[in-house]
Amino acid sequence: MWSGPSFWQEYPPLKDLAKFLLYLIAVILLGALLAPPFYWAAQGLAAHGICRTLAAFKFQKFFDRSALLAAFLLLWPAIRWLRIRGWRDLGLEPDARWRQHWAAGFAIAALIVAAMAFAYVETGIYRLRPGAPWGKLPLIALSAVAVGFVEEALFRGAILGLLRRTLRPYTALFWVTALFAIVHFLKPDETFDPRPIGWLSGFALLPRVFHQFTEPMTFLAGFTTLFALGWVCGEAVLRTRSLWMSSGLHTGVVFVKMSFAAVSKRTETHLPWIGPELQIGLVPVALFLLAWVIVILYLARENAALPAKEL
């Protein structure tokens, strides 16, 4: 009878990886299950004159947000299951300058993406919609903040922290950033109509989440941009040892992107430079690389100033 160490005892990183994969599967299943009641609740609120803008959202949007909520709800049990006792086990520490870091990250990302959007409008690549629904902005802001915190806690907090246990920081960041980019292409096909919505409608969407991989040019353009964004956020985490600046960066990008999508309409594309969405193409890649440089310079200047303030 075998009395030596088990496979998982001999390779503990693989045990953590297996647990994390089970966590991802649970997130997908719970997200698919939560999507229908969220959709019904939103339709009910809109029918009673509360948040009428919710009525315009397709079921696919609720599927996306349900998956994010599921990731958040299951994150704490997963952390306990992985025996993570605190943020320090993930390489994170309390940030005394968390307000400044979040605000700086938000400003850097929002201003850069807004400048790109403005240039697109001025050159005729996008045009503003007449009677744009500016009333959506508060809901968009709330969604952007939630996405920024949840995705950063998941990717640059939990996953990056787990990989940093066994890999060098930037090697771990590379794999987490690649996963971050790929996951964002796992979206249900907007052209698919799952109505009437029932309890299994979320599961009916699951086979259609891979449809974007059939468009190689769009996939590569979008993957490169998301990889650049993920790398900037990861750089901020490694340098500040916290999630505040990366959350600000992520929130800034999502807020401007979603706001611009609500008030504008694309008139042309120029792949690989400009894609079918604001965040796709080599132009946003270049701007995110600029954001990366700005983040490095900002934090370097901050670190250089700290000793002088302490004296």
Averaged pLDDT for residues 248-273 = 83
pLDDT for res 130? 79
**Strand 264-266 vs strand 126-128: parallel, antiparallel, or unpaired?**
antiparallel
pLDDT for res 8? 46
pLDDT for res 5? 52
Q: What is the pLDDT of residues 142-174, one digit of tens each?
A: 989 988 998 898 889 988 988 887 788 999 999
Averaged pLDDT for residues 261-268 = 77
State both tokens at 35.
Answer: 């999507």
Q: What is the pLDDT of residues 66-90, one digit of tens each?
A: 887 888 788 778 877 877 777 788 8
308 pLDDT more than 60: no
State both tokens at 141.
Answer: 């802001």
Task: Give 73's contacts (C-beta < 8 A, 6+ positions apart).
Answer: 30
254 pLDDT more than 90: yes
d(CA 28, CA 202): 9
pLDDT for res 104? 96
214 pLDDT more than 60: yes
pLDDT for res 64? 82
pLDDT for res 263? 80
The DSSP string of 112-162 is: HHHHHHHHHHHTTSEEEPTT--GGGHHHHHHHHHHHHHHHIIIIIIIIHHH
pLDDT for res 269? 65
State both tokens at 300.
Answer: 């370097």
Averaged pLDDT for residues 165-190 = 85
pLDDT for res 216? 67
SS3 label, residue 264: strand
d(CA 227, CA 243): 18
Task: Give 233's contacts (C-beta < 8 A, 6+ positions apart).
Answer: 152, 155, 156, 246, 249, 250
- Residue 214: half-sphere exposure toward Cβ, Cα within 13 Å: 6
Q: What is the pLDDT of residues 89-102, one digit of tens each?
A: 888 999 999 999 99
Averaged pLDDT for residues 247-274 = 83
Task: Name the band, by pLDDT with cuts 50, 70 and 90, for residue 1.
Answer: very low
Find the helix packing angle between 244-263 and 216-240, rounded to 10°.
150
d(CA 165, CA 91): 9
Residue 228: what residue type? Answer: A
pLDDT above 70 covers what percent of the chain?
85
Q: Between 82 and 23, where is the model more confident?
A: 23
d(CA 43, CA 36): 11
Q: What is the pLDDT of residues 117-129, one digit of tens each?
A: 888 888 888 888 7
d(CA 125, CA 209): 28
Block residue for tokens 């983040």 = 295
Mean pLDDT of all residues belonging to the chain: 82
Helix intervals (H) in the chain: 7-10, 12-47, 59-81, 98-122, 137-151, 160-164, 169-183, 201-205, 216-240, 244-263, 282-310
128, 263 contact by CB (below 8 A): yes
Averaged pLDDT for residues 176-205 = 83
